[in-house]
Amino acid sequence: MERYEGLFDVLGWLGLLFLVPLGFYVFDYAPAVEFMRTRLGVFGRPTTITLIACALIVLRIVFGGGELVSPLLVSFVVGFFLLAAVVPFAFMKWFGEYAGKVFFLDSRALNFLAACFVLFVGNLLSYARRASIWLQLFLFLVLPVVFLLIANAFDLFRFPAPAL
């Protein structure tokens, strides 16, 4: 692995860490939300935080090391759409309208948790020597959808309303 690849790998993991402040908004942790709104300005907004996280993950995909690129790509696409169901992007307004009609995308907190899982496992799986596309599709698409279906259908989790 080249030195610059290691740097971009670190940037990709840092992008995942940027999802933690977004979690404060999703789970309505009032002190952190108030700090980000009052002190950080535009950088404390959920859309900005999410776009920075996605940009860092894209840098990891394009320039980073690892053995496989396909887990990063598949997990990024699925994770981005799950995050778009959480954070209202202006350029993804069309998706927000359709996601509101799908019953298993009702809970923003569950969508956020599924997106974090998908992105984290995608980053980890990129270091594997081999991973079939079927395993990737199961881990990044089928498993999150089944989780969201079961959790929303049986109302398994109760979360506060997001502060978005």
* Assigned token pair, 64: 């980073």
Extents of the domains making up the chain? 3-153
Q: How confident is the model at residue 143 (pLDDT cuts 50, 70, 90)?
A: very high
Please report, for residues 24, 29, 78, 134, the alpha-carbon distance to residue 163 in angstroms, rounded to integers and kept in the order given: 8, 8, 23, 37
Q: What is the pLDDT of residues 96-128, one digit of tens each?
A: 888 878 888 888 999 999 999 999 999 999 999
Q: How confident is the model at residue 1 (pLDDT cuts 50, 70, 90)?
A: low
Which residue, 119, 112, 115, is CA-closest to 13? 119
Q: What is the pLDDT of residues 57-85, one digit of tens each?
A: 999 999 988 888 999 999 999 999 999 99
Does this model's pTM top 0.95? My answer is no
- Is the distance from CB of 123 to CB of 26 less than 8 angstroms? no
